[in-house]
């Protein structure tokens, strides 16, 4: 049985084609998000079908999740990203107890029960200071690419504390630090530590290991280390962390297809 999961994120669209019987990913892909959410998702979906040698009729069920899930008209149903990330991470890291997902515009903290269901969660979707948007602002201000931020942070000798709680004010603070001669590497390391500390504050003392880090920001070198330092415990980066939501959606699509009475 072949199913698909589509994660319409704020910054990127992710699609996974899954052979549910074998638990094998047949194809997966990522595309930058735009304003035509449905068209972009459909194009990526069709490209992956072609790459896998499949037709639309071969796919038993499609589940959409993420920020733009309700705009994806060809999906059979939608499921929240909270549930999908939990399922995707638990499939990849069976013992995961706490999931930290940091995307472009929000961050999510999931506490999982022993059976992998979500016991509790917290979400920050009101302030960009704890999300990938903060890193985008910093990269733009430094004239650097997101992919180079990890290398910069690794060269830091004295990470500069970022005290502002708002990205707008933090950007002004960063401009001031640059003007005063603070090395960009120390600024980037300080920003990574700031994001990690905000996430740790959301968790409080409720982080139960193993902690798994997922989402696009988990792909940036140095962020997992910063998060582990803030939480004072080891942090594991999920395999292909940007894809866990789409993977979880595909797994849930196969479960629904196998049990029609559970469809919703």
pLDDT tens-digit readout, 180-229: 899 989 988 888 888 888 888 888 766 899 999 999 889 988 899 999 99
Rounded-to-integer distance, Cα 156 and Cα 190, Å: 9
Least confident span in 117-121, 171-175, 227-231, 254-258: 171-175
47 and 71 assigned to the same domain: yes
**Using CA atoms, how far apart are residues 246 and 234, in angstroms rounded to an integer?**
25
Note whether 38 and 116 are same-domain residues: no
pLDDT of amino acid 124:
76
The per-residue pLDDT for range 89-136, each reduced to its tens digit, is: 999 999 999 999 988 778 889 999 999 999 999 887 555 556 677 788
22 Cβ contact list (under 8 Å, min separation 6): none
Is the distance from CB of 228 to CB of 234 less than 8 angstroms?
Answer: yes
Same domain, 228 and 110: yes
Task: Give me the pLDDT at residue 251, please.
Answer: 97
Which pLDDT value is given to residue 202? 83
Please tell me whether residues 40 and 130 are part of one structural domain. no
Number of domains in the chain: 2
Q: Are residues 99 and 221 in the same domain?
A: yes
**What pLDDT is attached to residue 19?**
97
pLDDT of residue 98: 95
Q: Are residues 219 and 250 in the same domain?
A: no
Judged against a pLDDT cut of 90, whether residue 155 lies above it is answered with no
User: Distance from CA of residue 124 to its chain's centroid?
Assistant: 13
Task: Identify whether residues 250 and 173 lie together within a single domain.
Answer: no
**Do the bridges between strand 12-19 and strand 2-8 make them parallel or antiparallel, or are there none, so unpaired?**
antiparallel
Per-residue confidence at 165, pLDDT binned at 50, 70, 90? low
pLDDT score of 246? 98
Same domain flag for 146 and 204: yes
Domain that holds residue 254: 1-93+241-264
Q: For residue 47, what are its two tokens?
A: 């490209």
Claim to verify: residue 75 and residue 103 sit in the same structural domain: no
The reply to whether 173 and 88 lie within a common domain is: no
> Model-level pTM?
0.89
Contact predicate 11/103, CB 8 Å: yes
Residues 117 and 230 in one domain: yes
132 and 180 in a single domain? The answer is yes
**Once rounded to an integer, what is the mean pLDDT over residues 231-256?**
96
Q: Which of 81, 69, 59, 77 is nearest to 3 (CA)?
A: 59
C-beta of residue 15 within 8 angstroms of C-beta of residue 6: yes
Higher pLDDT pick, 229 / 140: 229
CATH of the domain at 190: 3.30.420.40
């Amino acid at each position: 049985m072949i199913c698909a999961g589509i994660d319409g994120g704020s910054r990127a669209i992710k699609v996974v084609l899954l052979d549910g019987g074998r638990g094998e990913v047949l194809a997966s892909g990522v595309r930058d998000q735009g304003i035509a959410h449905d068209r972009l998702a459909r194009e990526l979906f069709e490209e992956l079908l072609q790459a896998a040698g499949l037709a639309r009729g071969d796919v038993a069920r499609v589940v959409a999740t993420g920020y733009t899930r309700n705009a994806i008209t060809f999906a059979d149903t939608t499921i929240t990203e909270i549930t999908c990330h939990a399922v995707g991470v638990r499939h990849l890291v069976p013992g995961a107890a706490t999931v930290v997902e940091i995307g472009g515009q929000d961050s999510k903290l999931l506490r999982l029960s022993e059976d992998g269901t979500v016991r509790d969660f917290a979400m920050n979707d009101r302030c960009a200071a704890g999300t990938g948007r903060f890193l985008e602002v910093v990269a733009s201000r430094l004239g650097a690419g997101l992919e180079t931020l990890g290398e910069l942070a690794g060269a830091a000798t004295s990470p500069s504390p970022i005290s502002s709680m708002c990205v707008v004010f933090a950007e002004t603070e960063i401009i001031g630090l640059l003007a005063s001669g603070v090395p960009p590497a120390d600024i980037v390391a300080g920003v990574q530590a700031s994001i990690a500390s905000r996430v740790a504050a959301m968790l409080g003392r409720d982080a139960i290991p193993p902690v798994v880090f997922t989402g696009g920001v988990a792909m940036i070198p140095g962020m997992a280390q910063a998060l582990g330092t803030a939480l004072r415990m080891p942090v594991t980066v999920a395999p292909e962390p940007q894809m866990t939501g789409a993977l979880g959606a595909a797994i849930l699509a196969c479960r629904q297809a196998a049990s029609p009475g559970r469809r919703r």
